[in-house]
Structure 1
């Protein structure tokens, strides 16, 4: 038979495991917040890329239509603006790749935090069961002692009568 901890020790273990569960939940919440922030960064970057593409299309449209008559005069400016937009678009596309990588890393952190939470909850349940078992053992021991004392009290008068 295994030795059970006393109820006080078991209660302390339950409290400690409860604290571990609470910390694991906090880490899950923080990881979820990190995912939310990373997802928002990806969405913002995608919106920026879409806007830059629209700006490039608008510039191309303006060159063909509105600026066509004045193109010789403004060609240097148009080329510079097109190069600037293309450069910004390329930078944002590379930054989007980095943002998506950060989002994936945040998702991995959340998965790890959830696995840790699951382990902590399982350990807490095990310790809680041990504490209940320890408490039941103490109660059973007390009941046996009371029964033994009652039997001794009944035997003592019977022995005195003989």
Structure 2
């Protein structure tokens, strides 16, 4: 089976197009990677805030038991309100952490998709590179064959002298 090869110039243009697509796919990978890093940083920051709120609640609980115990009847309402406030902030941060983790998972999925797209673009570019090589070789062979036929047609070819 013979396949029809494009002209080397057309194959070269196709290769440039594939190269541009690879560059764009690499840029998308870089952007997706940066998005993953930002999302991961947001998760880490949210976890630090949660730890800080947990420490504040523990510190308030220790203070109620130790330092505020003698004055607890007077400050019980304030201490209880503060503890409720801290617990509410902790709950909001934990809820936000779930959202941040979801955002991170989505960013990771987009990165995987971008990497898969890059892999496909690289494979296509490689295939076109082979096509360019084959096209140039076939074009060169066709030129050489034409030149040989022209020499034979001019009468100086080895085929006529053999007769």
Indicate the SS of the match to 1:129. Answer: helix
How high is the TM-score relative to the length of structure 1? 0.92
Residues 38-84 of structure 1: CA deviation (Å, up to 9, x unaligned): 10000000000001000000000001111111112211111111000
Superposed displacement of residue 149, structure 1? 2.8
Indicate the SS of the match to 1:2. Answer: coil
Residue 15 (structure 2) aligns with: 14
Task: Give the 3 Å change call, closer, same or farther, for CA 74–149 of structure 1 in structure 2.
Answer: same
Task: Give the 3 Å change call, closer, same or farther, for CA 62–155 of structure 1 in structure 2.
Answer: closer
Residue 81 (structure 2) aligns with: 80
How high is the TM-score relative to the length of structure 2? 0.92
**Paired residues, number:** 158
Residue 25 (structure 1) aligns with: 26
Indicate the SS of the match to 2:5. Answer: coil
Which ranges in structure 2 are unaligned for 5 or more consecutive residues? Answer: none
- RMSD in angstroms over aligned alpha carbons? 1.5
Which ranges in structure 1 are unaligned for 5 or more consecutive residues? Answer: none
Instruction: Point out the more displaced range, 137-146 or 7-16.
Output: 137-146
Distance 1:143 1:77 in 2: 97
Distance 2:150 2:7 in 1: 23
